[in-house]
Chain A
Amino acid sequence: MVIKILGTGCPNCKRLEANAQKAVEELGSDAVIEKITDTGLIMNYGILSTPALVINEQVMSYGRIPDVAEIKTMLTNPELTKSTTNSTIPKIGGCSGGKC
């Protein structure tokens, strides 16, 4: 499982990262945490408010900091454990990235 923290490095992004880290540790999960700080990449997820939490390319929260318990619930949600392989960016109404 891949967890991404979207944010330009503000204190809130660090708090979100710490919460995600703690959730992963408490679950004993093998999830990898990545930080995305590039504005262009962040905006590909369709969000404007940071920090955002993305699990397996799906935006789980944005503009707020979910606590450890909430992130644990997200991580154990069975719907997310599937479909890690195909798309890297969520499908967008008839235009999946690139030129349109």
Chain B
Amino acid sequence: MFYPIQLLADWLTYSVFSVTPKTLLAGAVNFFIFDTIKIFILLGVIIFVVSIIRSFLPAEKIRDILSHKHKFVGNILAALFGIITPFCSCSAVPLFLGFVEVGVPLGVTFSFLVSSPMVNEVALVLLFGMFGWKIATIYILSGVIIAIISGLIIGELPVEHLLADFVRQNQAKNNLQLPKMNWPQRLNYAKSYTWNIFKKVWPYILIGIGLGAWIHGYVPADFLVKYAGADKWYAVPLAVLVGIPLYSNAAGVIPLVSALTEKGVAIGTTLAFMMAVTALSLPEFMILKKVIKTKLIIIFTLIVGMGIIFTGYLFNFLIK
């Protein structure tokens, strides 16, 4: 499927830049060009398609659907809707308040809050481009399952008193008539959204792929096995801890991590690291502190963190 891009990368490497074939430099340059073109094309296409889908299912509509659902069905739907919803920490508070106020159960709201940043289209494109569709699918499925289970657990806990005092539940004011977009507006929206994301992430992706290319060409293949191979029990929890403060660079982290995986980091550890980078983020915690008390943030982090660690061990065990 990416064969034409490989031809283009070969032509650029050997004919345009005239790098001597079969050298370390040739390998690194070729890898860099191929991956950059492939990822940029995938990003453009997938973000555009997801934006079009989202123009039919904006957060407002998801909220109205979820307000009629109870646990299980609600948690599953919330985790699935989270896939197409972009999530930046600046929208966390309005989303949280908006959901809770119209009577979406707390557990269901949390399923959405976990899934939305963790299973996002940028991470997906990068995983698909760098690891292939199997790992990308495993990532989505585990992300959705972690979101469903974390939400179900939080829904069972007595945590209502851990909401900020001004958060009012069940205010039921979701019957407002909001305008719908027409097709030219949808296309316009998708175009400008795709362009905005692209503008934001391309430097990180270039740096990530650049470092990856360097590692690909110059670091011996089993270099990291003895530090982070599947038999090292501490690798998964450590990866999760390191991932928490790394939120803003998720776009650059994945190409880099893909190169590390090639050099011996176990795949479950890699998955756990990426999930921690996207799902648990310090800036998001700071913002959520306005609406929920620190104790609930800690409970949330522990539940999701344990889910991620479990997933990491599971895939280290399953995929050898």
Contacts and interface: CB of A to CB of B under 8 A. Distances in A.
Given A10-B90, A62-B60, A65-B192, A46 B185 contact: no
A47 B60 contact: yes
A59 B176 contact: yes
Given A48-B98, A64-B185, A93 B175 contact: yes
B93 interface: yes
Contact of B94 (A43, A60, A61, A67): A43
Contact of A49 (B59, B172, B175, B188): B59
Interface residues of B, number: 27
A43 B178 contact: no
B224 interface: no
Most chain-A Cβ atoms within 10 A of its Cβ — which of B63, B173, B188?
A: B173
10 contacts: A8-B90, A39-B93, A43-B94, A46-B173, A46-B174, A47-B60, A64-B192, A65-B192, A90-B176, A100-B171
A49 B91 contact: yes
Given A39-B94, A43-B98, A92-B173, A48 B59 contact: yes
B179 interface: yes
B97 interface: yes
Contacts of A67: 188
A95 B173 contact: yes
B176 A60 contact: no
A1 B178 CA distance: 20
Contacts of B173: 44, 46, 92, 95, 100
B58 interface: yes
A25 interface: no
A23 interface: no
Interface of A: 8, 10, 39, 42-50, 59-67, 70, 90, 92-93, 95, 100
Given A39-B93, A93-B175, A64 B59 contact: no
Given A61-B179, A64-B188, A92-B173, 20 more contacts: A42-B94, A43-B97, A43-B98, A43-B101, A45-B176, A46-B176, A47-B178, A48-B59, A48-B60, A48-B95, A50-B91, A60-B179, A63-B59, A63-B60, A64-B192, A64-B193, A90-B176, A92-B175, A95-B172, A100-B171
Interface in B186-215: 188-189, 192-193
Nearest to B51: A64
Contacts of A49: 58-60, 91
A8 B93 CA distance: 11
Contacts of B174: 46
Nearest to B174: A46
A66 B179 CA distance: 13
Nearest to A9: B90
Ranked nearest first, the 9 interchain pairs of A and B with the lowest CB-CB distance are A46-B176, A93-B175, A48-B98, A48-B59, A64-B189, A92-B173, A48-B94, A49-B59, A48-B60
Contacts of A60: 179
Contacts of B189: 64
Interface in B92-108: 93-95, 97-98, 101
A41 to B, nearest CB: 11
Most chain-B Cβ atoms within 10 A of its Cβ — which of A10, A47, A64, A65?
A: A64
Most chain-A Cβ atoms within 10 A of its Cβ — which of B91, B171, B178?
A: B178
B91 A66 contact: no
Contacts of A47: 60, 178
A100 B93 CA distance: 23
B313 to A, nearest CB: 36
